[in-house]
A and B are shown apart, each in its own frame.
Chain A
């Protein structure tokens, strides 16, 4: 079966490279942008910035708690610190440091978290964090962003450098289709309706936006019209866009590379429950840890793919 996709790609790249390239560009634009990394400069693609601005880059060693505190201090001194490490070590490991020194104190720190979710792959569950979005969105003052491809990650990185306040930016390791435009304007907190539809809305974030794009084509083959909305900003959530879409379609699916508990779906459910209760099905990890495997094998095993979004959409439709 060959599908007609609304969004296509000619190249694949990792979203972490979008971060690395955006970070370098942000550094060239603004001399106050500084970087920190806890012994993962290569993995985070922060090397080009470090090479060009060695004075503005701080290798902290394997000491993430200290890195968060140093970042808060640099922010007090007027700098715009981008602190990078794996999503696991950027959140759970340093939750209290982020809570007190960054979020509660409202510091202009950008927590840049790579290798999030199952698509980290072979390293296994110790490194595949699936709870980070929930932890971060619970923190008052924190903005939470999870872009979908290389281009969007680069645009988001540039946007957060201009935004004043704490931000959690989540991205990943696998090579992934580049299907959004290079020249996009990234608006924090503004959902992007990528595909118009009328029967069901698919709200997707991160890598799952591509799967939603594929699912839309599969549903279309079966005569079902799906709307696809790219929720790159989990917090603040664009409630208006969510309500407007569900008012039209009457049911929805959320898709995320994250635990169902506490993730994007939960946030959408809150919005719907308060304003317009409607059937909602979740595509996400259901209260379990990950494991080793290739990214694709893992996404298939845990049901984070287009086929499962299609199933969820049909289920939601039946409940209308």
Chain B
């Protein structure tokens, strides 16, 4: 894929946000907050970083592959997959409807290109990503495996089983990113179950850790992913703590858990879309 300018990438981010809001609004269900906060990450990954092939192959041999462990960000993932050519953009209108490949949470049984494992029940993605990374090592395939997890998701014990495993086996062809937005369904993570010092935790588990402090600034996100890539192949798994704001891009949605799993009303949608220019054409 041809490299795009920051301005072009920014336009895709804006369109992704519009897609997410319209998808969730249309079925009055889904999770708008987190994908709005991860727009820059999704776009930086799919339109700049990944060496990937939208002619989808399940085994992902000879390409970089991505897993979404926090499956409730599905609307954002579907948008970036469609916008980067995995399936027709028109199909976004089937999100969460009957007989759709775009299930509420990502699934493989409808064979939606880009999805390699179901996710939604939290805490499982890192293990799966590690397995694929090890398969790549066995096959001497030097491509990378990427994964996004939620910060609240780190409360699941399996994540730490996987964290320990990754360092033990030196799975250094994997870049994990945590969407560090500090919010979860019941409130701020500090109140629900405090994650305390995440950087120290991952370092103590034997990971190389970087922090991307401005997770909604495209240049910073790209810089962080480049830095993460430069740290692969050195014997340690790589963790990218991505500080984002849930609901970013819409003034009344930003920085609160309120929009974790709530769709906007007609008026709220109109207000939100007024803040986001239609750049690539709505689906």
Contact = CB atoms under 8 A, between A and B. Distances in A.
22 contacts: A58-B134, A65-B161, A69-B124, A69-B130, A70-B130, A73-B117, A73-B132, A74-B131, A74-B135, A76-B116, A76-B132, A76-B135, A77-B59, A77-B132, A77-B136, A81-B131, A97-B158, A100-B119, A104-B107, A105-B117, A106-B108, A106-B109
A259 interface: no
A55 B168 CA distance: 14
A169 to B, nearest CB: 19
Given A63-B165, A104-B118, A55 B138 contact: yes
A127 interface: no
Interface residues on B, range: 35 or more
Interface in B213-243: none
A101 B106 CA distance: 11
A78 B61 contact: yes
Contacts of A100: 117-121, 124
B103 to A, nearest CB: 10
Contacts of B129: 73
B117 A79 contact: no
Interface in A55-95: 55-56, 58, 60-61, 63, 65-79, 81
A69 to B, nearest CB: 2
A53 B157 CA distance: 30
Nearest to B61: A78
B133 interface: yes
Interface of A: 34, 55-56, 58, 60-61, 63, 65-79, 81, 96-97, 99-101, 104-107
A76 B107 contact: no
Given A76-B132, A78-B135, A66 B127 contact: yes
Given A73-B133, A100-B124, A66 B118 contact: no
A-B pairs with lowest CB-CB distance, top 6: A73-B131, A69-B127, A77-B135, A66-B161, A63-B161, A70-B131
B157 A76 contact: no
A79 B135 contact: yes
Nearest to B120: A100
Contacts of B108: 104-106
A64 to B, nearest CB: 9
Contact of B121 (A58, A71, A96): A96
A71 B130 CA distance: 9
B92 to A, nearest CB: 22
A100 B109 CA distance: 11
B126 interface: yes
A60 B59 CA distance: 22
B252 interface: no
